[in-house]
Structure 1
Amino acid sequence: MVTSPVHPPQPSTPVRVALTGARGGFGRTFLAQVRAVPRLVVTQLIDPDTAGVATMLDELGFGVDARERAALVASADAVDWADIDVLVEATGRIDAGYDYASTAIAHGVHVVMVSKEVESLAGVSLSAAATAVGVRYLPGDGDQPANLLRLLDWVERTGLEVVALGKSGEYDLVLDPAAGTVTQLDETVDTPDLPGLLTLGDDVTATLAARASAVSALKRSAAADSCEMAVVSLYSGAHADVEALHYPVARPDELADIYAARADGGIRMRDRVVDVFSMLRLPGEASFAGGVFAVVRTNDPVTWQLLRGKGHIVSRSGEYACLYWPYHAMGVETVLTVLDAFDGTAPARTPRQHTVLAARAAAPLSAGTRFRVEGHHHEIAGVATAIVDREVAAGVAPYYLLSGAALTRDVAEGELIELADLDEMPAGALGAFTQGFAL
């Protein structure tokens, strides 16, 4: 085990990279970009589908030398930790992902965490373990948590006070005013009232309620969104304004008005909150692309009136402004975090369990119910995500610790699932959460 700090290497030093979950969509975007960064040398690609990984390498045009250098590894017991400088953890599974990350740290390997599920419950303890042995543990750029934290760093270095921060949902709501329909990805619904709601009007909350009603046939929230905001909470100290997030249907130029305080006509009940909005746009308009935003208090009316004239988003009252980055480019950006981890150039952040991503029963649940994480958004049937403050979270089970676990008692609709209610939780991840909550 490494016991002394790692000295920053020279910028030209090659970086040996291993990637878990290599066959996934993120893995492909990361590997496609690695080819353009000569310093990055892929030494191990870890995924049970080694044949699929080999095919993907061929599709991406990896040369013979790169193919020969990269070992295709099917399981953890075949990993050669001595041949890795930075592990990119992207399994999305709490048991495997935690084990890979903790083992990497124990072997003196830096970790770039892409599996937000692992981060949400074990990030605090993994970060502490990395600090103790002198390696780096960083959330990966390209996913919204790291991007949002980067934006937050930039904004707060200017001295601006951030009152709300968040991202747009994964899929835009594209309104066709002539047809009176909205399309979200590949689903189209009739929304005859929505064309008349394109402006906020004087009553912001009433307009938002009417928009939400107009698109109520569409599923706009996802466990992944709450998980990402819970990760942001770890590093920023921000809390959820409401445990299920607000999800206003909004156009980007409205965000400063929407995330004003309630007393100022907005929706926000407290300061420094995380949230997600559903992007509303017309056909042909640019997407927010799952990007990130920060709403700040303005400090000088003349300055912000000047910025409003230059196209910046300033609330109608002039009291708030919104700064944003309309993108998250997945693995394309993660190469930057890998270099930051190796070179020691990333900002220092110490996560704490300010909130817990919990599970609230969406219906009555019987003792013996076994939970499974399923689908593209890694959701669990029968429970809804809830971001709860640390002060009320003692004994509450993190959402993703339910993965594979079984209920030991009947749980009424609306109850939070507690650790004492579960059996057969992943031992490593459970221990990591318990340790991290105590820090």
Structure 2
Amino acid sequence: MNLSRMLGQRAEAGRPVRVGLIGGGKFGSMYLTQARLTTGIHVLGIADLNPDRLRETLKRCGWPEEQSDTGSFAAALQSGRTFITDNAMDLIEADGLDVLIDATGDPAAGIRHCQAAIRNGRHIVMVNVEADALAGPLLARQAEKAGLVYSLAWGDQPALIAEHVDWARTCGFKVVCAGKGTRYLPSYHQLTPDTVWDTLRTYLALEHPEQINLKMFNSFLDGTKSGIEMTAVCNATGLVPQDDGLSFPPASRFELSSVCKPKENGGTLSRTGTTEVTSSLYRDGKDVPHHLAMGTYVVIEAETDYARQCFSEYHMLEDDTGQFAALYRPTHMIGMELGLSVASAALRGEPTGSAIGFHSDVVATTKKAMKAGEMLDGEGGFTVWGKQCPATASLAAGYLPLGLSHNVKLLRDVAQGQMLTWDDVAIDSTDEAYLFRRDMEQAFG
């Protein structure tokens, strides 16, 4: 409740929190449009593979041209301006940097940047949830051992959901389920960058496919992003995925406590203490009224008659038995809220959600039947989507994590809908991300 006051004190003392951002895409740009206006924050530098495009992004975000491009990180440190570079490692090593934000979306790059940040004594805010799903538990452990914060990104749904869970447990409630909403139909698992536009144009105000990154948007619709984000939630909270992963039941925000409860209690869940993503579409394609497509939620259980009475008296969104109730947030503001993670890490030494164990995994699952010798193309592509799976089951079966399924050759024929294993592919056993993931499996398996 006092982060803004603490930032103000840092500003008055001439010691603003100095931030470095890697990746000037949508999430990064949304952070930048607010960071410039936040007292006590100095964006020391931004690293992006395309500096010219980044400068155009800064203009759209309201940055005066004279606020950036000072010639060096040292000059930026003295002047309070922002240095732009295409070299992420130079940014990580820059004198004075307090907090590093990785917003690249590339799991291998995220692991590499995080390890470099730890070596250089920087707190890490991991917008790159792909990296967190692949190896977040080990990254968080390494940061903690170094006395640093490794944090999920506030404003992104996993951190908000983790906060819901923490709220519930701090109030003494049993967490039945936590998650978010999305737009989903079973056929979406087969969507590709070539076919997703026909779906997107039915509900987004877009005129041309060139306006967006079709592969990125495809990962949101084909189920992959939901699997990645719910894996981050499980690993940050100790919740355990359902036996067969997410089922995406249709539900309005007023039906959450009726739908997202165990089957034995009349709901859809295979267990209590799990994650689920609700769909804004019925299976016939019609819209669910009052859906939660952009929001987050938690379902809790009343364990006494008096608690059930209070659920009713205070108009909680309870089910028809009064035993279960839901709390939800209708939307999230992505990078525009990221400042909470930055301030919490730098001023309180606390993450806004962080992996505490290896409870969930995201498994590469085929979109179509494929032949030996064909290449996988990873998240949002033509060949695989990411299915959430309990970590114990993933380790036992030797499943291939989605984050290592890009540009990988199949060694055998596979069927549509098959969860791939390490033995199904030719993996580069010298790859740094592969080795780090294997280290994590050893550390937490």
Question: Do the structures match in fold with TM over 0.5?
Answer: yes
Structure 1 unaligned spans of 5+:
1-7, 173-182, 189-218
Match of 2:334 among 312, 330, 333: 330
Q: Report the Cα distance in structure 1 between the residues aligned to 2:221 and 2:91, rounded to whole angstroms.
A: 39
State the shift of 1:222 in Å.
Answer: 2.3
In the alignment, which of 413, 432, 437 is matched to residue 436 of structure 2? 432
1:20-419 residue pairs with structure 2 within 5 A? 20-22=22-24, 24-63=25-64, 66-67=67-68, 68=70, 69-79=81-91, 81-83=93-95, 84-169=97-182, 186-187=201-202, 221-279=222-280, 288=292, 290-346=294-350, 349-373=354-378, 378-394=379-395, 395-419=398-422
Deviates further, 293-302 or 273-282: 273-282
Structure 1 residues 412 and 279: CA distance shift in structure 2, 3 A: closer
Cα contact 2:98–2:346 (8 A) shared by 1? yes
User: 2:216: which partner in 1?
Assistant: none
Instruction: Select between 105-114 and 54-63 the one with higher mean Cα deviation.
Output: 54-63
Q: Give the 3-state SS of the residue equivalent to 2:267 in structure 1.
A: coil
CA distance in 2, matches of 1:256, 1:345: 34
Tell me how far apart the structure 1 counterparts of residues 288 and 422 of structure 2 sit (CA, whole Å).
Answer: 48
Per the TM alignment, residue 74 of structure 1 is displaced from its structure 2 partner at its CA by 1.2
Instruction: Tell me the equivalent position of 1:17.
Output: 19
In the TM superposition, residue 325 of structure 1 has moved relative to its aligned partner by 1.6
- How far has the Cα of 1:354 moved from its partner? 1.2
- Pair 423,251 (structure 1): closer, same or farther in 2 beyond 3 Å: same
- Which deviates further from its counterpart, 70-79 or 124-133? 70-79
Residues 33, 132 of structure 1: CA spacing in aligned structure 2 closer, same or farther, 3 A cutoff? same
Contact 1:353 1:390 in 2 (8 A): yes
- Mark the CA change 1:284 to 1:355 in structure 2 (over 3 Å): closer, same or farther: closer
Does structure 2 retain, via aligned residues, the 8 Å contact 1:360–1:414? yes
The aligned length equals 387
Whole-angstrom CA distance in 2 between matches of 1:284 and 1:39: 43
Deviation at 1:244, TM superposition (A): 4.2
SS at match of 1:72: strand
Give 3-state SS (helix, strand or coil) of 2:133's partner: helix
Q: Name the CA distance, whole Å, in 2 between partners of 1:412 and 1:184.
A: 25
Q: CA deviation at 1:416?
A: 2.5
- Unpaired runs of 5+ residues, structure 2, are 1-5, 71-80, 186-197, 204-219
Q: Distance in 2 between matches of 1:225 and 1:158?
A: 27
Distance of 1:331 and 1:384 partners within structure 2: 25
Which segment drifts farther, 106-115 or 363-372? 363-372
**CA separation in 2, counterparts of 1:352 and 1:27?**
27
Tell me, what secondary structure is at the counterpart of 1:240?
Answer: coil
| Matched residue SS, 1:436 | helix
Alpha-carbon spacing, 1:34–1:50, altered in 2? closer, same or farther (3 Å)? same
Instruction: Tell me how far 1:371 sits from its aligned partner.
Output: 1.9
User: Which letter does structure 2 place at the counterpart of 1:234?
Assistant: N
In structure 2, the CA distance between the partners of 1:80 and 1:383, relative to structure 1 (3 Å rule), is closer
The Cα of 1:396 is off from its aligned counterpart by 1.8
Deviations 1:59-112 (A, max 9, x none): 323235532321111133543513321111010012222211211111111110
Seq. identity, %: 27
8 Å contact from structure 2 (residues 252, 280) kept in 1: yes
